[in-house]
Homo-oligomer: A and B are copies of this chain.
């Protein structure tokens, strides 16, 4: 039987290429805001609230020691602040400053806008299917 059925590797390949495309897009939107993609990611993760170093390193998938220097650089620019934990004197919480919050939202909005452009030509039903499929992948 010969059909136009997609192979597994077509989906894998499409996903990998999409990843690279989105990475580029992410870099292009961060840069004019004076941020590396990694810094933009960190700031955006903090939008939903302050986090400790250990939890933040887990979310960003980097070692705590790597995070220390990232936070140092952002703190020097007054985009984040280390706040002492009231309950654990070893720990601190990283939180966005007012300037950091503003920049984080700019990053977030810029990326969402760019992606909206990329996906705007898809039919609504396809967008729906795409969204649900990706969410189910992410839920694993």
Residues on A lying within 8 angstroms of B by beta carbon are 5-6, 8-24, 26-27, 41, 61, 111-112, 115-116, 118-119, 121-122, 124, 126-138, 140
Contacts and interface: CB of A to CB of B under 8 A. Distances in A.
B122 A136 contact: yes
A11 B5 CA distance: 25
Oligomer: number of copies: 2
26 contacts: A5-B124, A5-B128, A6-B131, A6-B132, A8-B127, A12-B111, A12-B112, A12-B116, A12-B119, A14-B130, A14-B131, A14-B138, A15-B22, A15-B115, A16-B111, A18-B134, A18-B137, A19-B22, A20-B41, A27-B61, A122-B136, A122-B137, A129-B129, A129-B130, A130-B130, A130-B133
A59 to B, nearest CB: 9
Given A11-B131, A61-B27, A133-B130, A17 B115 contact: no
Contacts of A135: 10, 14
Contacts of A122: 133, 136-137
A137 B24 CA distance: 14
B137 A133 contact: no
